Amino acid sequence: MAVKGTSICSSAARAVSTWAKPDPEAMRRLYTERMILRPWIVADAEALYTYASDPHIGPAAGWMPHTSVAESERVIRTLFSAPDTYAVTLRGDDRPIGCVNLLTGTNSNLPLEENEAEVGYWIGAPFQGRGLIPEAVEALMTHAFADLGLAMLWCGHFDGNLASERVQAKCGFRHRRTETNRYVAPIDAFRTVHISSISRQEWQQRLSARHH
């Protein structure tokens, strides 16, 4: 509810078995074939507003459309300053076109164990349908399992959001349960939510299958 192969997947399985806590500054960017995922900065506010003001984007992900550049700036200073929250940018163009993040603890929309996280994602309308978000989420999954040593990732989508459902399926998430009439406070509405997950073991098995 929240936003194919990456350049770092080839060493991911080995990285899990030899995991050591990384220097935080070294983990501030994630790279894929077509994108760079980087921290948000205040100067991104105008670009964020361009896409986050779209009435079809936010409500599908569980938040209201932004109403001003000032609101987008506040979001960057608060919500988007959280750890492991990345602006999605295309290589060669530093302008954000979407967002992916890991939500943990009370920041998550789901009840999580200490070694679990929820994956969130969205992308601007002009960039949908190009496989960019699955590619970005794959990089985020590698970071979560190989770098952070998490045991499980969760994700959810509203009933009828087929695009989000496809993202999760492409990335190996499996449906676990459905919650009906769930109240979503940011949009002040009740929704049916389909919840899926992938464990580190399942992720490792997917990597192994790719390389055989």
**Distance of alpha carbon 98 from alpha carbon 3, whole angstroms:** 7
pLDDT tens for 70-107 read 999 999 999 999 999 999 999 999 999 999 999 999 89
Contact 58, 52 (CB under 8 A): yes
Residue 204 has pLDDT above 50, yes or no: yes
Which tokens in the block code for residue 29? Answer: 């960017």
How large is the average pLDDT for residues 109-138? 97
Give pTM, 2 decimals.
0.86
pLDDT tens for 151-194 read 999 999 999 999 999 999 999 999 999 999 999 999 999 999 99
